[in-house]
């Protein structure tokens, strides 16, 4: 049976709750500062040591590019915060799907290193998240097609493109299932 939104959030929370804060203190704000060449413009107060589940939406928005700079330990600690934003469909420029994409091309080595930092329970939570997202996107797409077809007919609906990330979700699910099989 598919997970509800609340059950998925609980699964993600439980999988990542004990993930240690980066030992070197290199957090979302430090990573964002590196992206901003040492001169960030934050709208929120930086509270050093704040764990992933303590970050507010505003703080996450302030650190929109941080995931590109986090080291694997930090990426592992903070990725559930980005996943939770996606589950709740909170509009930010942080893209959990981009961080969980199949590694290829630019930055593939960094992605592989980040992905390898996750343990079995965390990979299972990522798979559950991607499955939930795929089901939600499929349902949204079907609902939108029905609505548009009723309004303007088949000609308009045939030309519609799948929604953002829809094409990639099946490939991402496959990639993460293979990653799970690799974990002892």
Q: For every one of its 184 residues, what pLDDT tens digit does the chain have, with 9 covering 90 and above?
A: 789 999 999 999 999 999 999 999 999 999 999 988 877 788 888 888 899 999 999 999 999 899 999 999 999 999 999 999 999 988 888 889 989 999 998 889 999 999 999 999 999 999 999 999 988 887 766 566 566 555 665 555 555 555 555 558 888 999 999 999 999 6
Rounded Cα distance between 117 and 80, Å, is 13
**135 contact partners, CB below 8 Å, separation of at least 6:** 2
Identify the pLDDT of residue 6.
Answer: 97
Q: Tell me the CB-side half-sphere exposure of residue 80, using CA atoms within 13 A.
A: 29
- pTM across the whole model: 0.85
**What does the DSSP 8-state code read for residue 36?**
T
Q: Which of 23, 33, 12, 77 is nearest to 51 (CA)?
A: 77
Is residue 163 within 8 A of residue 133, CB to CB? The reply is no
Q: Take residue 110 and report the two structure tokens written for it.
A: 């960094």
Q: Which residues contact 103 (CB under 8 A, 6 or more apart)?
A: 109, 111, 112, 115
Residues in Cβ contact with 130 at an 8 Å cutoff, skipping those fewer than 6 apart: 100, 169, 172, 173, 176
- Gyration radius from the chain CA atoms: 18
Taking the C-alpha atoms of residue 64 and residue 108, their distance in angstroms, rounded to an integer, is 20
Domain count for the chain, please give it: 1
Domain encompassing residue 111: 5-182
């Amino acid at each position: 049976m598919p997970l509800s939104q609340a059950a998925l959030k609980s699964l993600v929370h439980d999988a990542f709750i004990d993930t240690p804060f980066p030992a070197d203190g290199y957090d979302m704000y430090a990573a964002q500062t590196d992206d901003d060449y040492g001169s960030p413009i934050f709208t929120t107060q930086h509270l050093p040591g704040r764990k992933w589940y303590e970050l507010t939406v505003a703080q996450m928005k302030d650190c929109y590019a941080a995931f590109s700079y986090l080291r694997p330990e930090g990426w592992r600690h903070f990725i559930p915060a980005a996943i939770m934003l996606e589950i709740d469909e909170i509009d930010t420029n942080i893209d959990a799907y981009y961080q969980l994409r199949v590694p290829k091309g630019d930055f593939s080595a960094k992605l592989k290193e980040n992905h390898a930092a996750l343990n079995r329970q965390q990979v299972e939570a990522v798979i559950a998240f991607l499955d939930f997202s795929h089901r939600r996107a499929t349902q949204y797409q079907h609902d939108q097609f029905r609505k548009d077809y009723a309004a303007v007919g088949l000609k308009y609906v045939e030309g519609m493109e799948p929604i953002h990330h829809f094409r990639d979700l099946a490939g991402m699910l496959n990639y993460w299932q293979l990653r799970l099989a690799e974990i002892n």
